[in-house]
């Protein structure tokens, strides 16, 4: 049984990790396209500010949580009643809360001019506010497709089907790119806003309808407020709707406080954040998404020791994001230059974007860990505790944003996001681990993060001077940046090889062994 479970988790994790990696790469291509068309400019600032209201509506509709709140209800109906009862629950939840989501969208569209001014208090340029308002009204309707699509994905996850949900972010990002490229000559940056709407409709709605049909989709409009699953769903979802989560608060506050920066500040913060989230997606989002149905199953069966053991093992593996983030911080100017410096994104935008990236990277591990730990609570149907703690932690860290803005400007806003995330993730895991049958797992997780954190500091201390010397000699340019990246990466590999010989650093030994195996296989294929 355990072997079969781990096999299923492994297959699902592999698919979701491939999806997340592909979507992050396509998302990076999206940001590169935006940088090419608009650079780090006031127009791109307006485009980013246009997401403030949609982010809030998305949060109020609890769109991002449907997979973790509806799956237990759907699975319980199917297990204890019948498939017909499960699909009836789906129809009722979809009708009742879909109608609420549609009302949110209509109200947001009507109130967009006033709300944009309220949510971007630092913007005084009427042209930027007008552009942000126009694009807000284009993007807001996409939130209904996100809600409906997330509900359709939830039933696919509950049925053990991951393919169509895995394709959703790819289609969505490709829609944004297509809208920007095709409409840029006539509409400029606004073309990307139309791409958001088209991508959400195609990838998060139409595609998911097709996937849910393969899982046996049965839907009829049923507005039944008295259905017991309406109250059960509301009990699970309400704390997520009113609580302040890490992802939502970060997306909201970097734009809100970034609105006080000079032109291009919000754009630079966004580019830096998206680069950091590539690490988070690979290390955190994929394992968290794929493991949730299995965590929920262990929780439902009352297998607490296995539940905590699975989460702790996954959390220890995520610790490798620390040295990966340190390496990216060392080469941040070169990474930004290679990814974005083309079109309207010039050398003058490299420094601010690299500074934003360095500020966001300390929070990468927190983002990855939070994505997993919060699902442990959701698997046990405990949504109130993480929501209450998350809200308290966000409010407690709120002063960091104006302080960071005043002391360090753009980079200070990024550091505030990181410090807030660390506070949320560390505190939430401490609360979770206190409920474990044994404290051993908590100690092992702490030891893994301590060892890899020290290794990350060694990477920063030893490779930063190397990078500085090489940068002074090679100068800017794509060729120089590639050579510098190769040299610093080789230095990282040497540090890893040296660390693998340390007696109390098992993670380094395992990573070095894996790299040797991959190199041996690569040589074998070339020889064959």
Q: What is the mean pLDDT of residues 110-126?
A: 95
Q: Residue 478 to residues 92, 474, 483, 496: CA-CA distances in angstroms?
A: 55, 10, 9, 27
Residue 437: helix, strand or coil by DSSP? coil
* Greatest mean pLDDT among 3-12, 78-87, 159-168, 486-495: 486-495
pLDDT of residue 353: 96
Phi, then psi, of 439 in degrees rounded to 5: -80, 0
**Of 383 and 415, the one with more pLDDT:** 415
* Greatest mean pLDDT among 231-245, 376-390, 410-424: 410-424
- Measure the CA angle with vertex 423, ends 384 and 354; round to 5°: 125
Q: What is the mean pLDDT of residues 347-370?
A: 94
Largest CA distance in the chain: 72
**Of 66 and 398, the one with more pLDDT:** 398
262: which DSSP letter?
A: P
Residue 13 has pLDDT above 70, yes or no: no
pLDDT of residue 279: 82
> What is the pLDDT confidence band of residue 64, given thresholds at 50, 70 and 90?
low
Please state, as a whole number, how many other Cβ atoms lie within 10 Å of the Cβ of residue 81. 12
502-516 residue pLDDT tens: 777 777 666 666 556
Residue 5 has pLDDT above 50, yes or no: no
- Among residues 66, 122, 417, the alpha carbon closest in space to that of 248 is found at 417
Judge whether 317 and 287 are in contact, CB under 8 Å. yes
Residue tagged 């609360």 (tokens) = 431
252-283 residue pLDDT tens: 999 999 999 999 999 999 999 999 988 887 66
Q: What is the mean pLDDT of residues 229-247?
A: 81
Residue 1 has pLDDT above 50, yes or no: no
Judge whether 257 and 49 are in contact, CB under 8 Å. no
pLDDT of residue 286: 62
Judge whether 367 and 284 are in contact, CB under 8 Å. yes
pLDDT of residue 21: 72
Provide Rg for the chain, Cα atoms. Answer: 23
362: which DSSP letter?
A: G
pLDDT of residue 51: 95
Q: Please list the alpha-helical segments (H only) found in 319-363.
A: 321-330, 332-340, 350-360
- Give the span between the Cα atoms of 128 and 121, in whole angstroms: 12
Tokens of 263: 């032109």
- b/e per residue 20-34 (b: at least 16 CB within 10 A): bebbbebbbebbbbb
Average pLDDT taken over every residue of the chain: 87
- Give the span between the Cα atoms of 346 and 377, in whole angstroms: 45
Question: Helix %, strand %, coil % for the chain, to 5?
Answer: 85, 0, 15
pLDDT of residue 223: 92
**Of 23 and 526, the one with more pLDDT:** 23
pLDDT of residue 293: 67
> What is the pLDDT confidence band of residue 177, given thresholds at 50, 70 and 90?
very high
- Give the span between the Cα atoms of 55 and 119, in whole angstroms: 11
- Measure the CA angle with vertex 306, ends 304 and 308; round to 5°: 70
pLDDT of residue 290: 65
> What is the pLDDT confidence band of residue 2, given thresholds at 50, 70 and 90?
very low
Q: What is the mean pLDDT of residues 288-317?
A: 80
In this predicted structure, which of 66-80, 129-143, 380-394 has the lowest mean pLDDT?
A: 66-80
Angle between the 321-330 and 332-340 helix axes, to the nearest 10 degrees?
A: 80
- Give the span between the Cα atoms of 75 and 86, in whole angstroms: 7
- Give the span between the Cα atoms of 71 and 293, in whole angstroms: 8
- Among residues 293, 440, 427, the alpha carbon closest in space to that of 366 is found at 427
pLDDT of residue 517: 58
Judge whether 184 and 37 are in contact, CB under 8 Å. yes
Tokens of 34: 């935006």
Q: What is the mean pLDDT of residues 102-113?
A: 95
């Amino acid at each position: 049984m355990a072997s079969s479970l781990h096999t299923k988790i492994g297959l699902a994790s592999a698919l979701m990790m491939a999806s997340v990696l592909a979507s992050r790469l396509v998302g990076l291509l999206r940001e590169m396209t935006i940088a090419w068309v608009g650079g780090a400019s006031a127009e791109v600032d307006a485009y980013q500010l246009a997401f403030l209201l949609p982010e809030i509506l998305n949060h109020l509709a609890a769109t991002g949580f449907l997979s973790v709140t509806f799956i237990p209800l759907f699975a319980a109906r199917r297990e204890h009643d019948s498939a017909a009862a499960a699909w009836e629950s789906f129809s009722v939840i979809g009708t009742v809360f879909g109608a609420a989501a549609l009302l949110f969208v209509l109200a947001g569209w009507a109130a967009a001019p006033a709300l944009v001014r309220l949510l971007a208090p630092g913007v005084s340029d009427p042209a930027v506010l007008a552009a942000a308002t126009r694009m807000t009204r284009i993007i807001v309707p996409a939130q209904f497709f996100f809600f409906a699509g997330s509900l359709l994905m939830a039933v696919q996850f509950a049925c053990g089907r991951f393919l169509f949900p895995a394709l959703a972010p790819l289609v969505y990002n490709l829609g944004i790119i297509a809208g920007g490229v095709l409409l840029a000559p006539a509409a400029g940056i606004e073309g990307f806003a139309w791409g958001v709407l088209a991508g959400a409709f195609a990838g998060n709605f139409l595609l998911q309808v097709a996937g849910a049909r393969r899982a046996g989709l049965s839907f009829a409009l049923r507005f039944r407020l008295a259905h017991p699953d309406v109250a059960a769903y509301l009990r699970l979802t309400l704390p997520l709707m009113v609580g302040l989560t890490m992802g939502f608060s970060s997306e909201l506050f970097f734009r809100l406080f970034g609105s006080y920066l000079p032109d291009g500040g919000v754009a630079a913060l966004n580019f830096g954040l998206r680069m950091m989230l590539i690490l988070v997606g690979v290390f955190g989002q994929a394992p968290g998404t794929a493991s949730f149905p299995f965590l929920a199953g262990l929780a439902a069966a009352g297998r607490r020791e296995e539940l905590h053991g699975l989460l702790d093992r996954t959390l220890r593996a995520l610790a490798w994001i620390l040295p990966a983030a340190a390496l990216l911080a060392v080469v941040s100017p070169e990474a930004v230059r290679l990814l974005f410096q083309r079109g309207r994104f010039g050398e003058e935008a490299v420094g601010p974007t690299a500074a934003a990236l360095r500020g966001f990277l300390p929070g990468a591990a927190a983002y990855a860990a939070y994505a997993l730990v919060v699902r442990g609570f959701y698997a046990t149907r405990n949504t109130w505790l993480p929501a209450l703690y998350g809200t308290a932690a966000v409010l407690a860290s709120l002063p960091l944003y104006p302080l960071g803005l005043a002391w360090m400007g753009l980079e200070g806003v990024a550091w505030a996001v990181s410090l807030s995330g660390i506070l949320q993730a560390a505190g939430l895991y401490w609360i979770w681990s206190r409920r474990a049958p044994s404290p051993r797992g908590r100690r092992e997780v702490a030891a893994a993060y301590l060892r890899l954190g020290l290794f990350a500091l060694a990477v920063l201390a030893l490779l930063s001077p190397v990078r500085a010397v090489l940068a002074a000699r090679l100068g800017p340019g794509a060729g120089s940046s590639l050579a510098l990246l190769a040299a610093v990466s080789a230095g990282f590999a040497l540090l890893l090889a040296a660390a693998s010989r340390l007696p109390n650093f098992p993670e380094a030994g395992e990573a070095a062994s894996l790299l040797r195996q991959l190199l041996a296989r690569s040589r074998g294929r070339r020889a064959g």
